[in-house]
Structure formats: structure tokens, C-alpha cells
Structure 1
Amino acid sequence: MKHLSIIVPAGNAILDTIVGTHGLFKMANARQKQIGKAQEDIFDIDLVGISNEVVYNKGLFQVSPTKTIADIKKTDLIVVSGISGNIERELKNNAPFVDWIKRQRVENDAEIASLCKSAFIVAETGLLNGKNCATHWTVHDLFKQKYPQVNLIPEKIISEDNGIYSSGGAYSFLNLILYLIEKYYGRETAIWCSKVSEVDYDRSNQNQFTIFSGQKDHSDESIKEAQIFIEAHFEEKLSVEALANRFAISRRNFIRRFKKATLNTPLEYIQRVKVEAAKKSMESSTLNINQIMYTVGYNDEKAFRNIFKKYTGLSPIEYRRKYNREMAFS
């Protein structure tokens, strides 16, 4: 029998990632025995904390870990439940997990899965350096700044790299847990769990949920002015050359400074601002796709469709059908 450690973070945690992970693995254990593919549970499951009792939401919720990290000498799979709130504060709250996770990986070859923003805890171990990782889209910029040696894959809901797994934001953790269930229990059981839990199976992209908000937490005032200008004139035809001239910066230096400050090239920033404006229009207006395309400064239908899909994972028609209020309820 393998051993599963579901981490119960100290401080602020996303309780659903603890309860949901525990529930799905228990369900998979029961299903394997029910269909005769196992005589005993595939995983012995423990909720693992720093202490024996963890209180959340000012005492509103309480979780009692079945074991502490001091109790667990060897584990096969570690699922790090989601954290919330101030990242730096939560990293301090959960610092004792870092060495324990690293030791389990190095000494016991444990596999590790981070859910949502708990990718920060795993990144603190150094085990993600040079590897791919996913996390919640709201902290992509912070993650890239804090861990430049990690290859963040912003569009992915699930990332796997040599036994280290990670999920995108919020309830996409369920997709990662089903992915792990497929690996350890087989696809038949994973699909059964997805149907019983009514979780969409094989979802892999989180771009459609992203709300782009340009990174302005930097000290380059000229670039900040350029960002504001782009956001105010997204409906116009904007070029990198014209923007560089407008702010009296050489084209090469403008691109370098823009990328350093915003983590996007100027062209990427222009495209993302235009796509975000198009998304908002598709969600709330009755304009057709071509009309929306023109209002955000595109004239080429194919180019608009390709750029839109690049940043959302959906075609304009698919996005509108899914998120426009009138179409969703028609």
C-alpha cells in the first residue's frame, strides 16, 4: 500500500482543496475494491499538519490532521493543499513544510502535487528550478518575479514534470486530482470519479478564466505611462516603433525596459489589452464578432481569431457562446 500525505497548511488555506482531495482519493480507493481491481486501499491517506490542530477563518473552521510532519518518515505522494491571502505571510506560516517536502523527495523519491497558490511552497524547496509549473493566474507575475528559475506555464491547468505536479487556479485542483487518480488507479476509475463528482474531465487550459490586468508594480515611470497610453488607446492601430518614439526611447531599449517592467513584450501587452476589451464586449454587448473586432483595432478576421485564441484558449465564437449572458441562457 502506498502512502498519501495531504498537507493541511497553517494560516490561510483553501479548505475545499483539503476536503476535495481527501474525498476523491477515498472514492477512488473504494471504487478499485468495488470493481475487483484491488483487495485493499491503493493509498493509506493522512491529513498532515505542522501541529495536531489547525484553525481557519478566525475559528469558524477547524481541521485536525491525522499526523504531523514529525510523524511521517516516508510518504509516496504529497498533495500540498491551496493557500490564500498574503503570499509572504503564508510562506512564513508554512516554512516547516519546505524542508520536510524536500527531504521526502530526495530521500524517498516522493511525488509532489501543488494545488493553486501552494506552488509557492513547493517552489521554496528549490525542487521546481528548471521545471515546468502552473499556478493561479492572479499570481503569475509575482511567481515569475520570485522564482525566475522556474518555467511557469501560465495557460495550463495541469503541469507535470518528472513527478512534480501543479494545478492552475481555484477548482482546477479537481482536474489535477483526477489526473493523479488516473495515474495511480487507471483511467476507468478516474472517469467514474469524474462522473460521480460531476467534474469536467480532461480540462487543460485556464486562459479563458484569466482577467488581464497590466503589471504596474514597478518603478519605470516612462513604461508605466506607455502602459496607460496603450490601455486608453487600444482601439487604435498601435506599433512598438510609434510608442518608443512617443516616449523618446530607442526601440530596442523600449522593448527591453517594457519586458523587464511588465513581464510582457510591448506587442504582447497591446494584444492582451485588446483581447481583454474584446472579451468584456463579448460578455455583455449584442455586437457581432466582426463589430467587436473593429472596435478593438483589428481589421483582419483571421489574425484577430488567432490572437484571441492564443490568449483565451477559445475562438471568439466559442468564448461568446460560453460567457455572453443572453446566449448562455437562451
Structure 2
Amino acid sequence: MKTISILVLNHAVPAAITDARYAFEKVNDFLKARNQPPRFVVQYIADTEVVPLQGGRISIHVDSTLDRSPKSDLVIIPSLAGDMLGATYVNREYANWIAQQYKGGAEIASMCTGAFLLAFSGLMKGRQCTTHWQYANEFAYLYPTVNLVDEKMITDQNGLYSSGGNNAWWNLLLHLIEKFTSREMAILAAKYFVVDIDKDMQSPFIVFNGLKDHDDEVIKSAQQYIEANYAEKLTVDQLADKFIVTRRTFERRFKKATRHTVSEYMQRVKIEAAKKQLEMGRKSISEIMLEVGYVDIQAFREVFKRVTGITPVEYRSKYNNASGNM
């Protein structure tokens, strides 16, 4: 039997808490139907017996409190809502408990923005971690020693797990079910919950918003200029000259503020513009390629796939019913 402890945190997303319990208990049902013993003991844990959520509209009664909880085999940190810095701060007392559980042999899994509390515990230093793509820049700023791989759907390193945005927690739950039971059980759970199994990238879902939550006004102006002129053949030297900064200083400040090199940023802006055209328009992929500033179809395909994880044709098929021609 594996003891699964689901933390009921302040500012937690209720669905993350209930989905986790439902998934593991449903696997117990599957096993029972096959005359096999249950595999999981699932419990809600918090620092108090009742935790109000969503401004008191929901209250969750826990099975055990931190000071009297049995040894856990797996601790699940649910997704957090609202301001991440504030949500982490109000749950800071859990961080040491999480770290002690891991040192005692438990595995730890964070769902979506629960990664902020997992990183706060200190366990992710030097390790890979993913989270909701919308919070990636904030996460990277707060936890620079963590290897953020926000393009990934889940990470799995040394008994530490994380998942990407929102419903990616289902991919994490299926991954954990397979690890603790079998591939067969994971497939059965995927079919029951109608979840695609083995998704490994959240890149196609990422919306590039410009990463402007920094205080370098020169770089913000440069970002706005790039976004307004992405179809032009801009160079780093031209941008540095325009904003009266040496190329070396401009590149250093740009990377520090945005987490991207200037060239990477220009590529991301171009690809985001192409994605919108593929989603909404009826132009051919070749026409879209030219409009966003590419002249080589192979180069465009390669960059598009590197950024989104899929080809332009696959992206159009996924998000637009209208057919397009090459």
C-alpha cells in the first residue's frame, strides 16, 4: 500500500485537490473490480482540520494534520491560485515539512503553480521543474537556481515531480499511477478520465506575452519596437543603435530582463504572430511565413517546431478547421 498525502493549502485550487484524490481512489476501484487489493491510501493533510478555500465558499475537512500524519510515500502539492508570491508566503510553514518528508523517503509532486512552493522548499535547486507557462518568467526570477523547463508537460527527477499548466496535472497523475501500479492501470485511468496519455510538451499551448514584468525601461521599449515591427529584417546592431546602447550591453540587459536573447525574442514574436494567423485566418502557410518575416520555408518550419513542439501544418490542424495550402 502506498500512502498518498494531498496537501490542502491556503489559496489552493480545489479541483487540483479533488482530482488527485479521485484519480488514486478510482484506481483502487479498478483493482477491486479485478479482485485485487487496493494500492493506495489517500488522505488530505493540512496544518488545521478545516481549510476554507475560494474566500470561504468551499471548506475542506482533512483526514490528518501535519503534526499527526502517518509516513507518506507520495506528497502532492496542489496548484495555487492568485498572486504566487503571496500564496507561497501564506503556505511557507509547509515548506520545511515537505523537505523533511522528502528526506524521510517520500516522493514529492507539484501540480501546476504548486511548483512555487516546491521550489521554496529548496528541493529543486539544480533540478528540472515545470509550471504553468503564464508564470514561467516570475518563477525563473524568484528561483534562478532551478532549471525551469516550462515547455515540458511534466518533470521526473529523483522522486521529485512537477506538471505544467492547469490540466497538465492529469498527465502527472497518470504518470504517477503508472509508476506505482502498471502501464495497464494508467491506460485504463486515461480512458476513464478521457485524458490523452503520454503528452510530454505544453509548448503548443504557450501564448507568448512579451515578458515585460521587469524594470528596464530601455529594454521594454525595445520589446515594444520588436513587437510592432516583427516582419522587418531587424538586427541586434540596429536595435542597439536605435536605443543608444552598445551591442554587448544591450544583449546582456535584454537577456537579464526577458530570459531570452534578442534573436530568440524576435523569433518568439514572429512565431506568435504566425500562430494567430494559423488559428484565425485562411492564408496559406507560405503567405503567413512571408508576412511574419521569413523567406525560407524550411527555416520557418524548423523554428516553428522548436518553439511550439509541432509543425505549422499540425498547429493549423489542431486549432483551425479551415484548411490551408502550402
Q: TM-score, normalised by structure 1?
A: 0.95
**Aligned-partner Cα distance in 2 for 1:149–1:189:** 36
Letter in 2 for 1:262: T
User: Structure 1: which 5+ residue stretches go unaligned?
Assistant: none
The count of residues paired between Structure 1 and Structure 2 equals: 324
C-alpha contact 1:272 1:311 (8 A) present in aligned 2: yes
- Following TM superposition, by how much is the alpha carbon of 1:240 offset from its aligned partner in structure 2, in angstroms? 1.4
Match of 1:129 in 2: 125
For 2:264, what is the secondary structure of its paired residue? helix
Deviations 1:135-187 (A, max 9, x none): 00011001101001100001001101110000000001000000000000010
Match in the other structure for 2:175: 179
| Cα deviation 1:219-245 (Å, max 9, x = unaligned) | 222211111110010011121122122
What is the aligned-residue RMSD (CA, Å)? 1.4
Q: Which residue number in structure 2 is paired with residue 35 of structure 1?
A: 34
Amino acid at match of 1:246: K
Structure-2 residue corresponding to 1:74: 71
Checking the alignment, whether the CA contact within 8 Å between 1:284 and 1:325 is kept in structure 2 is no
Partner of 1:117: 113
SS of residue paired to 2:48: coil
User: 1:3 maps to what in 2?
Assistant: 3
Residue 93 of structure 1, CA deviation: 1.9
| Unaligned 5+ runs, structure 2 | none
Partner of 1:15: 14
Separation in structure 2 between the aligned mates of residue 256 and residue 279 of structure 1, nearest angstrom:
28
Question: Could you say which residue in structure 2 is the equivalent of 1:319?
Answer: 315
CA distance in 2, matches of 1:78, 1:148: 24
Residue identity in the other structure for 1:6: I
Match of 1:254, as an amino acid?
F
Question: Is the aligned partner of 1:94 residue 2:91?
Answer: yes
Query: Which amino acid in the other structure matches residue 320 of structure 1?
Result: R
| Aligned residue in 1 for 2:54 | 57
Structure 1 ranges of 4+ moved more than 6 A: none
In the TM superposition, 1:248-267 aligns within 5 A as: 248-267=244-263
Matched to 2:194, the amino acid is E
Report the Cα distance in structure 2 between the residues aligned to 1:22 and 1:73, rounded to whole angstroms. 17
Paired residues for 1:104-253 under 5 Å: 104-106=101-103, 108-253=104-249
**Which residue matches 1:275?**
271
The code of the aligned residue for 1:3 comes to: T
What amino acid maps onto 1:70 in structure 2? D
Deviations 1:254-277 (A, max 9, x none): 111110111110001000000111
2:100 aligns with: 103
Distance 1:132 1:319 in 2: 27
